[in-house]
Structure 1
Amino acid sequence: MFDLVLKNGKIVTPERIYEGNICVKDGRIAAITSLSEEVQANETVDVGGKLVFPGAIDTHAHLNDPGYNWREDYEHGTAAAAVGGITTVVDMPLQNEPALTDGKIFDAKINKVSKNAYVDYCFWGGLVDYNLDKLIELDEKGCVAFKSFIGPVSPDYVSLTIGQVREALEILKTVDARAGFHCEDYSIIKWEEARAQRKANISWEDFLNSRPLIAEVIATKNIIELARETGTKVHICHVSHPEVAEEIRKAKQEGIDIIGETCSHYLTFSREDVIANGSLFKCAPPLREMEAVEKMWEYVEDGTLSCVSSDHSPCALEEKSEDEHGIFGAWGGISGIQNVFQVSFSEGVVKRGYSPTILARSLSEGPAKAFQLYGKKGAIEVGFDADLVVLDPDMEWEITSDSLKYVNKISAFVGLKGKGLPIMTFVRGNLVARDNEVVADKGFGELVKKIK
C-alpha cells in the first residue's frame, strides 16, 4: 500500500515525456507504473493528463532572513516558492544580518528560519576576505557551495581580489567544495560609474553602459583560468549574455568542472525594458539586447547553462525610488522566485517551441547535480524524494501584484502574460501548494545537505 499515487500524469524527464502513475511511500518515489496498472494507496490524485515535473530547485535566491525581514523572510519567500513549483531553495548568504560566514552563524540561521519554511532549503556559505579560515567549517556544517563577488557588492558583503579568490579556491579544493561567483570586473564598473555620474543628466542607458559586457566576460575568464589552475569546482552565477555562456561552454569542453547559471529575467526581458520602465528592471549584470535573449535559450537547450534560477532579490518599494536614490542608488534586483517556473515554461516551451524536457534539465536535474543533491533531489526516479510539480500547460495567466506571496509585492514580472502554470506542488510526497495557495504547515520544509 502506497501513501500517495499521482495518477494519469504525463511525466517529464530530461530525456522524454511519458504517461504513468507515480507511487509514493515514506516521502520518496517508490514506483512508477503504467496507466493500466492498478495500484493501491491511501490517497490518489488524478492529474488528468497534465504534465508532472520533478520539483524545481532555485539555485540562487536571497531570502534576507535573518536580518532584513522587511525585504523578505522565509515564511513569505518559501510560500512564493511553493506556489511557483520550487521545492528546494538554495539561499544566498548575503542580505543576511550577519552574513553566513561561520559555523555559529549557520546554527543561528537554522534556528531562526526552520520554523517558517514551507519547502526544503539549502544554504550557500559566505566567501569573503575575513572568513577563509571558516570555509571548511561551513562545508562540514552543510553549506552546499560558497558565494563570492569579484565585482561591486552591497555594503553588507565584501568583494574579493583575484589573489584572494585563488587562495579560497585552494582551500575549497581540499574538501571538494564548489565556489560560486558574481562575475563582473570591479575596476571597469567603478570607473564607468564614476564617468557616468560626472554627467549633468544621467539616464538609464548610462547605467546599462556602466556595466558593459566586457566586464562580465573578463571576470568569467579570470575565474575559468583559476579553476583550471587549482582544479576547484566553480559556478558562474546569473550569466546574462551568450558571449559569457560561450566561454563556459569552451571551459566545459576542456574538462573544467564549471556550472553555468542564468535567470528567468535574462531569458525574458531586454535592456529596452530597463530604458522604458526604470528601476523595477534594474539588476546586475544588467539586462542585455533582445538578440542576446534569443541566443541564451540555445545555451540552456544544449546544457551549457544547466541551471535557470530566479536570483530573487527583493526590496521595499521605496528602495527602488529613483527620486530618492537616483538611478545608480536605486535598489538593483528582481523578485522572481514565485514565477521562474511559469515564465520559463511560457517563454521557452510555448513561445519558442522547446520541449518541456528543457525545464526538467535546467530547473531540476542540472541544479541537483551542481550542488550534489542528485540522488535525493532533481528527478522523478525510484528512491528520490517525491518532489513533484503538476503543471497545466493550457492555463493562461497574467502576473499581478495581488497574486504574489512576497513581503513586498513588487516585481518586474507584474503585468507579464503567458501560458502554462504550476497548479500543485508536492514536497517529499506532501501537497504544499495548490492553485496559488499554500496548504502546508509552516516549518514543513527541511534543511538539505549535499550528498558526499
Structure 2
Amino acid sequence: MFETLIRGATIVNAEGLDRRDVGIAGGRIVALVAPGETASARIVVDASGSFLLPGLVDAHAHLREPGLTHKEDFSSGTHAAALGGVTTVLDMPTDEPWTATAGELSDKMAMAEGRIHVDVGFQAVISHDLSLVPGLLELAPVSFELFTADVPEAFLFQTLDAVTEALRNFGDADTLIGVSPGDQSMLTDSSARHKAGTIAAFLDSRPPLAEAGGIARAVLAAASTNTRIHVRQINSELGVKIWSRLRDLADASVETTPQNLSFSADDYETHGANLKGSPPLRSRQDVDCLRAALKAGLIDIVATDHAPHAPAEKAASYATFADIPGGMPGLQTLLQAMLKLVDEELITLADVVRMCARNPAKRFGLGQRKGRIAVGYDADILIVDPRKSSAIANGDQVSRAGYTPFDGWTVKARLTNVFLRGKEIVRDQVLIDPAQGKPVRRES
C-alpha cells in the first residue's frame, strides 16, 4: 500500500507525456502504475484530466537573508515559491554579508532550518581570497558564483586573466561556476560619459556588446581550465549569437528569465522602476531573437532572478535611473509565465519541464532527486488543470515586493496542488502545510 496515490493524470517529463498513476511513500516516488491497474493507498488524489509536472527548480533567486530581510526573507520568499510551483529554490549569495566563507554558508543554511516552505539549495560567491574555496567545497553548495561587473571590489573579476585564474581553482572540483557576463570597463567608461542619468544612459552602460564579451570570456576561460560553467541571464541578440557559436567549446549552459522573454526597453516608459533590473531590458528585436533561441532549444534554463525590494525602495525618488534598486519578484509567477509561452505555442509543456525542472536540477547537482517524475525521485509534484484558467494579480503576491510585472495576465491553465516530498503543501493557492522545506546540497 502506498502512502499517497495520484490517479488519473498525464505525467509531463522533459522527454514527453505519459499516462500513469503515481505511487508515493517515504517522500519518494516508488511506483508509476499503469492506468486501470489495481493499487491502494492511505490517501488517493483524483487528478483526472490534469497534468502532473515535477516541481520547478529555480536556479537563480535572491531570498535576501541574512541582512536584507526588509526586502524578503526565507519564509516570505519560499511562500511565494510554493504558491508558484517552485519546490526547489537555488539561493544566490549576494546578501549581507555575501556568502563568501564556509562559516557564512554554514550559518545561512542553519538560518533556513525550520523556516522554509520549499527546499533551498545555496550558492557561494568567489572572492579574491581563493584560499576560502576548499572550505566552501566541503559544504557542497549547489554552485559558486563569479561576477565580472557591477559588484563590490572583493568579488569583481573584470579581466580574462582574472576569470581564468579564478576558474583554475575548480578544474578538479565536482561543482558548477555561475558567471554573470558583463564588462566593468564599459560600465565605468559609460558612466563617465553620461551624466544625464536617463534610461538611455543606463542602457548604454550595459550594452549587448558587454554581455557578448562576457559570454565569450566565460566560455573561453572555462574551455582553457576544464571547468563547468553556467552563464547567467542573457537577453540580447548579440549575446545569443556569440553563445550559439561558442557554447560547444566548453562544458557550459545558459539561462534567461521570463521578464527578458516578455518585456522590452520600451516598457520602461509604463512600468518604470518596477521593471528596472540588470541586465537591462533590450529592444524588441533582441526579445524576438531570444524567443526564437528559446524555441530552437538554445536556452538551457529559464530562471527568475527573483530579486525583490521593499515597495518604498522602488517608489522612492532617485537622482538617476541607474540608482533605482535593480530587481523584481518572480518566484510566484514562474510557472504561469512559462505556461503563457505554452499558450502562445512558442514552447510545449515538456519544454517547461526541461528548462525549469530537469535541466536546472541536473546542472546544479540535484539531478538524482529533483526535476523528474520517476521512480526514486523526490515526490515534488504539481497538479496543473488545463480546463481552468488563472489570473496574475498584484494583490495575490506574497513576496514582500508586493507586486508582479505580470499583473493582469491570464493563463489557460491553473496550478491546483503542490506536493513537496509527497506532502501536499499548497491547495488552491493556499499554503496548507508550512515549513516543510529542507536545505539541499550538491550531490553530483
**Fold in common (TM above 0.5):** yes
- Give distance in 2, aligned partners of 1:361 and 1:301: 12
Report whether the alignment pairs 1:128 with 2:127.
yes
The code of the aligned residue for 1:288 comes to R
What corresponds to 2:242 in structure 1?
A: 247
**Match of 1:339, SS?**
helix
**Match of 1:395, SS?**
coil
The code of the aligned residue for 1:274 comes to Y
What corresponds to 2:440 in structure 1?
A: 448
1:100-119 counterparts in 2 under 5 A?
100-119=99-118
1:138-153 counterparts in 2 under 5 A?
138-153=136-151
What corresponds to 1:171 in structure 2?
A: 169
Report whether the alignment pairs 1:402 with 2:392.
no
Deviation at 1:173, TM superposition (A): 1.4
> CA deviation digits over 1:381-415, x for unaligned, max 9?
11111111111224333322221111231332223
Percent of residue pairs identical: 29
The code of the aligned residue for 2:91 comes to D
Higher alpha-carbon deviation: 396-405 or 1-10:
396-405
What corresponds to 1:25 in structure 2?
A: 25
Pairing partner for 2:262 from 263, 268, 289:
268
The code of the aligned residue for 1:233 comes to R
CA contact 1:83–1:424 (8 Å) conserved in 2? no
Deviation at 1:449, TM superposition (A): 1.3
CA contact 2:74–2:115 (8 Å) conserved in 1? yes
- Give distance in 2, aligned partners of 1:350 and 1:7: 25
**Match of 2:405, SS?**
coil
- Give distance in 1, aligned partners of 2:235 and 2:40: 48
Report whether the alignment pairs 1:212 with 2:220.
no
CA contact 1:388–1:425 (8 Å) conserved in 2? yes
- Give distance in 2, aligned partners of 1:56 and 1:219: 28
What corresponds to 1:333 in structure 2?
A: 327
1:89-104 counterparts in 2 under 5 A?
89-94=89-94, 96-104=95-103
What corresponds to 1:158 in structure 2?
A: 155
Cα 1:216–1:412, aligned 2, differ >3 Å: closer, same or farther?
A: same
What corresponds to 1:238 in structure 2?
A: 233
Aligned residues: 443
Higher alpha-carbon deviation: 331-340 or 400-409:
400-409
Higher alpha-carbon deviation: 289-298 or 337-346:
289-298
What corresponds to 1:78 in structure 2?
A: 78
1:360-379 counterparts in 2 under 5 A?
360-379=353-372
Report whether the alignment pairs 1:66 with 2:70.
no
CA contact 2:295–2:346 (8 Å) conserved in 1? no
Report whether the alignment pairs 1:354 with 2:347.
yes
| RMSD (CA atoms) | 1.7
CA contact 2:209–2:238 (8 Å) conserved in 1? no
Deviation at 1:180, TM superposition (A): 0.8
Runs of 4+ in structure 1 deviating by more than 4 angstroms, as ranges, are none
- Give distance in 1, aligned partners of 2:299 and 2:194: 32
> CA deviation digits over 1:260-312, x for unaligned, max 9?
01111111111111133211111111111223323323333443211110100
TM-score normalized with structure 2 length: 0.95
CA contact 1:245–1:260 (8 Å) conserved in 2? no
**Match of 1:59, SS?**
strand
Report whether the alignment pairs 1:224 with 2:219.
yes
What corresponds to 1:427 in structure 2?
A: 420
Cα 1:246–1:3, aligned 2, differ >3 Å: closer, same or farther?
A: farther
What corresponds to 2:286 in structure 1?
A: 292
- Give distance in 2, aligned partners of 1:343 and 1:304: 19
Deviation at 1:245, TM superposition (A): 2.8
Deviation at 1:251, TM superposition (A): 2.9
The code of the aligned residue for 2:82 comes to A
CA contact 1:99–1:156 (8 Å) conserved in 2? no
TM-score normalized with structure 1 length: 0.94
Cα 1:205–1:421, aligned 2, differ >3 Å: closer, same or farther?
A: farther
What corresponds to 1:437 in structure 2?
A: 430
What corresponds to 1:54 in structure 2?
A: 54
Gaps of 5+ in 2: none
CA contact 2:209–2:239 (8 Å) conserved in 1? no
CA contact 1:377–1:384 (8 Å) conserved in 2? yes
CA contact 2:208–2:237 (8 Å) conserved in 1? no
